[in-house]
Amino acid sequence: MLKFTGLVLLTALFFVACNNQQPKEFVVQPRDTTITVKNAYNDLFLDSAAMEDYIAKQSLGDTLAQRIRSFYNSRNYQFAWFDSSGVAEYAGSFLNAQSQYILYSKDSSLYNEDLQQLHDSLTSDSSKYQVPSKKRLGTELALTTQFFRYAFKAYVGDSSINLQDLGWFIPRKKTDMTGLLDSLISNKGKNMENYEPLNKQYNLLKEQLLKYYGYQKEGEWDSIAITKKFYKIGDTSAAIAKIKHRLFLTGDAEKDDTTTVFDTTLLAAVKHFQRRYGLKEDGAIGNDLLKEINRPIQQRIEQLLINMERMRWLPGNTDQDYLLVNIPAYRLYVYEKGQLAWSMNVVVGSIAHSTVIFNGQMKYIVFSPYWNVPNSIVRKEIMPALQRNPNYLARNNMERYNGGIRQKPGPRNSLGLVKFLFPNSYNIYLHDTPSKGLFNEASRAFSHGCIRLAEPKRLAEYLLRKDTAWTEEKITAAMNAGKEKYVTLNPTVPVVIGYFTAWVDNEGKLNFRDDIYGHDKKLAEKMFTKK
């Protein structure tokens, strides 16, 4: 069973209300006059007028200018990047982190030639390099400006990207940039990963990205062709040797085997690869497997960068209970105290009825539910069926109700025996289904937008596990009572409906999935298209 690394991180998401309110105007901190030359860690202070002159000459945007003012107000204009001996050591730590970010993200917009020269000088021999006194103020303010620019890029993501244009309705995380810089200073640049506002999954994907850059540099990613429909145990082919080598590179095979025979070791490697890519684990080498193996290395690199960008939008790890549905994985992940407890297969919306990406709070369990048929389905499907067969409603256990149509509770109900509600404007919820066969399919995008669960009773038992009034027997009885019953969850449980086509699971394995709704393609156009 594939597992999403506490991934997700995502999820303090839920603790932010899903709304479209405009961000509040940045509030500049008042000047802290308690900091003086006598109690400051150094005796270097800058002049506020000189800072304002720098801001004006650099034509800094309002928000960035306000952050700089706020940062220095909180320090009473004490220098941050210098002390009496010269450039502070953590300046090198920051510049090194920025250089690493530029290297793996391929984002050259942060490159600053003057600060790069400073970085090179500090790296070559920090004991000898001194910034000339006439350049000290400019270097100080340049470092602060650059840190805020870097922090936005590396920790928040490209602010020019409108998430809702991409069908993403989970609010961006909020990040205290000034607090980050204070942490860098107070920790002297040590152990930056301990206070960076990045979830664990981001750094796991970054590690994989660096591996793929290595594969690209080695130039061992040529397309592999096969001469028959599929290969199985015992078959021999030159292509099999190439596949063995590719599976060794991707970590699916433990040894680099150059023989041309399809043996049991290759069978295990093929199944391992199929599991990571969400393919049917039949151990056969056919078109589905070759399609994934032969995707260009640059396409995989971009897929990793796209999902890392999404991870920047999300808060860090959480120690709370929550549910995560990853649409491209067709899977629901259940987290208890921030740790993956278990997961199950789900069916999500078809391409024509795509499931919305958003977050909410699970509030109700509804046993033996009615299905209030959406007007769109009534108009497009039920009314034409009624014209062909006037007994359609009776045959499908439906009735007219409050000007609409609903299906009565029971085993034939389209929602099955239980549904789970997290109130939202998209009318999306989790539910059981009488159609169990679809859960065995590798691709499971078949619904009208709601999410069908392979193990609904197990989820009900989990959500009610702390309520002694709800035993397994009572849950089973309520599901089969044929009478609708609402149960309110207290406390509510955060739910995230996410979209991730690349992630690292709890076993440290990199997973890829198809871009079933085209969201990767849209984001790629914004990230990689040259303007």
The DSSP symbol for 505 reads B
Neighbouring-strand partners of residue 193: none
What backbone torsions phi and psi does residue 8 show, to the nearest 5 degrees? Answer: -130, 70
- Annotated catalytic residues are 431, 450
The residues near 450 (Cβ < 8 Å, ≥ 6 apart) are 349, 355, 427, 428, 429, 430, 431
pLDDT along the chain (531 residues), means of 10: 47 35 64 84 89 94 93 94 87 92 91 86 66 89 96 90 93 91 93 88 96 90 90 94 95 94 97 97 94 96 97 85 96 94 96 94 98 92 94 95 94 96 95 93 91 98 96 98 97 96 96 97 89 47
The fold of 316-523 is: L,D-transpeptidase catalytic domain-like (2.40.440)
Question: With contact defined as beta carbons under 8 Å apart, do 302 and 106 qualify?
Answer: no
Neighbouring-strand partners of residue 486: 366
pLDDT reported for residue 194: 85
3-state secondary structure of 353: coil
Question: With contact defined as beta carbons under 8 Å apart, do 372 and 413 qualify?
Answer: no
* CATH number belonging to the domain at 222-295, selected among 1.10.101.10, 1.20.1740.10, 3.50.50.60, 2.60.40.10: 1.10.101.10
pLDDT reported for residue 10: 39
Distance of CA 108 to the CA centre of its chain: 23
Question: With contact defined as beta carbons under 8 Å apart, do 322 and 335 qualify?
Answer: yes
Neighbouring-strand partners of residue 496: 324, 359
Question: With contact defined as beta carbons under 8 Å apart, do 488 and 363 qualify?
Answer: yes
3-state secondary structure of 22: coil
pLDDT reported for residue 24: 52
Question: With contact defined as beta carbons under 8 Å apart, do 511 and 502 qualify?
Answer: yes
Exposed e or buried b for every residue in 409-431, given b needs 16+ CB within 10 A? Answer: beeebbbbbbbbbbebeeebbbb
User: Cα separation of 451 and 472, whole Å?
Assistant: 23
What backbone torsions phi and psi does residue 99 show, to the nearest 5 degrees? Answer: -60, -40
pTM of the model: 0.89
Closest CA to 448 of 431, 467, 471, 462: 431
3-state secondary structure of 260: coil
Which H or E run includes 54? Answer: helix 48-58
Q: Which two tokens stand for residue 302?
A: 């971009």
The full length of the chain comes to 531
Question: With contact defined as beta carbons under 8 Å apart, do 169 and 18 qualify?
Answer: yes
Neighbouring-strand partners of residue 418: 367
- Strand blocks (E) in 312-450: 322-326, 331-336, 339-349, 358-367, 371-372, 398-401, 404-407, 418-421, 430-431, 445-447
Please report, for the chain, the start and end positions of each structural domain, with discontinuous segments joined by +. Answer: 16-197, 222-295, 316-523
pLDDT reported for residue 122: 75
Q: How far apart are the first and last CA of the chain?
A: 42
pLDDT reported for residue 9: 39
Which H or E run includes 498? Answer: strand 485-498
Distance of CA 115 to the CA centre of its chain: 32
3-state secondary structure of 274: helix
3-state secondary structure of 475: helix
Closest CA to 432 of 382, 489, 395, 476: 476
